[in-house]
Amino acid sequence: MEIKVLFFGEIQQCTKQSEMLFRDVFSSNQLNEKLQLLYPDLKSKSYRIAVNKTLVDIDTELKDGDTVAFLPPFAGG
Amino acid sequence: MLDKEEIKRYAHHLQLPEIGIEGQQKLKQAKVLVVGAGGLGCAVLQYLNAVGVGTIGVMDFDVVQLSNLQRQVLYNESDIGNSKVNCALEKLKYQNSKTNLIPHNEKLTEFNSQEIFSNYDLIVDCTDNFETRYIVNDACLKNNQAFIYGAIYKFEGQIAVFNQLNDGNRSVNYRDLFPENKEQQTFASCADVGVVGVLPGIVGLLQANEVIKVITGVGDTLMNKLLLINLLSMHFEIMHYNKK
């Protein structure tokens, strides 16, 4: 079981990397909680989670090989 | 109707079966407001004006600064200290004398947005802060107008078409994607974190491309989608989203 996690924009400033691999995470909420424990600054950030390029509103089951993206809004113009 | 000069000027559009005379006339009849004449706005404005969008509103309240010139390519050194809207209009009128350019030298607020927007068919969000982005979104929702979103961060960009009419329903809007969070106001702008000079040009051109598609009805727009681009990795990815 391996999940690829991608970080965009300002989220990368919290995680200090653009992607990570996780084993033994089974849902998007569980992954989010795990990341917030690792990187407490994430709690004050606004972002959306996408599983396999679809933005999700609710806790979503993760399967081996899934890709999860953490997407913050950008202000700049 | 297109006149003889316009038929020559837009010859390469008229050759495209997807646009042709009918599409070019739709562009000529269209009224588009560009909110923000910064990095994104400079790219959007030059191309909407070049391709013959008939009426183009330009909205900004800022003046040109030296640090803008790295990416805001409508302006030059002699413009420093002058109104962006006035400088932009000055350049654009020499680029295309056939378009109708309308200055809005004022700040967008929740009080003036609906009335100003009601004079246009389509809005392009080229703003540089969250507060104004929500004002653009909310006025477009109240007026039942679509708008083209573009936003940038360092080497990354986001582009989407929000609130577009589709089979009688409105597509996803900015609040669906990113509900308002007041703490975001402290998030970074270009002035705080830096931005690579070409990024607003690339994102702005992708916004201008969506404007052409929405007006002419060709192709698939970025409705219910969010295009993400990263100029370091050169990854372009589309995220999908549907209202529940």
| Residue A27 DSSP code | B
Chain A residue numbers with beta carbons less than 8 Å from the beta carbon of B238 are 53
Q: What is the ipTM of this complex?
A: 0.94
pLDDT 10s digits, B144-188? 999 999 999 999 999 999 999 999 999 999 999 999 876 654 555
* Cross-chain Cβ contact B178/A10 below 8 Å: no
Q: Do residue A75 and residue B153 have CB atoms under 8 angstroms apart?
A: yes
Distance of alpha carbon B65 from the chain centroid: 21
Residues of chain A below pLDDT 50: none
Cut 0.90: pTM above it? yes
pLDDT value, residue B185: 45
> A67 touching B, CB under 8 A?
no
The answer to whether A53 contacts B237, with C-beta atoms less than 8 Å apart, is: yes
DSSP codes, chain B? ---HHHHHHTHHHHT-TTTHHHHHHHHHH-EEEEE--SHHHHHHHHHHHHHT-SEEEEE---B--GGGTTT-TT--GGGTTSBHHHHHHHHHHHH-TTSEEEEE-S---TTTHHHHHTT-SEEEE--SSHHHHHHHHHHHHHHT-EEEEEEEEBTEEEEEEES-EETTEE---HHHHS---GGGGGS--HHHH-B-TTHHHHHHHHHHHHHHHHHH--S---BTEEEEEETTTTEEEEEE----
Q: Stretch B191-206: mean pLDDT, rounded? A: 93
Question: Percentage of chain B with pLDDT > 90?
Answer: 93
Q: Tell me, what's the pLDDT at B219?
A: 97
Q: At what angle do helices B39-51 and B84-95 cross, to 10 degrees?
A: 30
pLDDT of amino acid B165: 96
The answer to whether A57 faces chain B, any CB pair under 8 Å, is yes
Q: A 9-28 residues with CB below 8 A of B? A: 9-10, 18
